Amino acid sequence: MGSYAQMVVDNEIAASVARLRRSFSTEPDALAIDIIAAAMNGTHNFMGQKHTVRYLRGGEVLITELAERRPWEIWEREGQEGMSERAQAKALHLLTTHEVPPLSLEQERELDIILEAAKKELESG
């Protein structure tokens, strides 16, 4: 049995695992100790740092779509939507808006070859 919403959740879990498998850099530039210290002693605004933006754009941090990131009070005030509701909404959005491009002629031919080979295998087996 399956669920489109569960597939959406599974996709996000797989992306998180893939990100973790890449590991994290411990190079001095990646650790950014001086930049962290400067931000903490100043504006406390890490997003105002070019270093932060560069590492975020480089994929250092995975920004998930289904997990709640807002403060508790805002989440409560705006209806307490959970991960399952967000996954269901995303699944419905994908089902209603996603368009699959047609196969190329080369892909169609390759698929025909695969299907013919499978048919022969079944008949001989």
- Per-position pLDDT tens, the chain of length 125: 589 999 999 999 999 899 889 888 888 988 999 989 988 998 888 888 889 888 888 877 777 889 888 889 999 999 999 999 999 999 999 999 999 999 999 999 999 999 999 999 999 97
State the number of CA atoms in the 13 A half-sphere of 84 facing the CB.
1
- Model pTM score: 0.61
**Are the C-beta atoms of residues 16 and 62 closer than 8 Å to each other?**
yes
Domain parsing of the chain, residue ranges: 4-24+60-124
Conformational region of residue 5, where left means phi above 0, alpha means psi within -120 to 50, and beta covers everything else: alpha
Contacts 24+ apart (CB under 8 A), 14-18: 15/62, 15/64, 16/62, 16/64
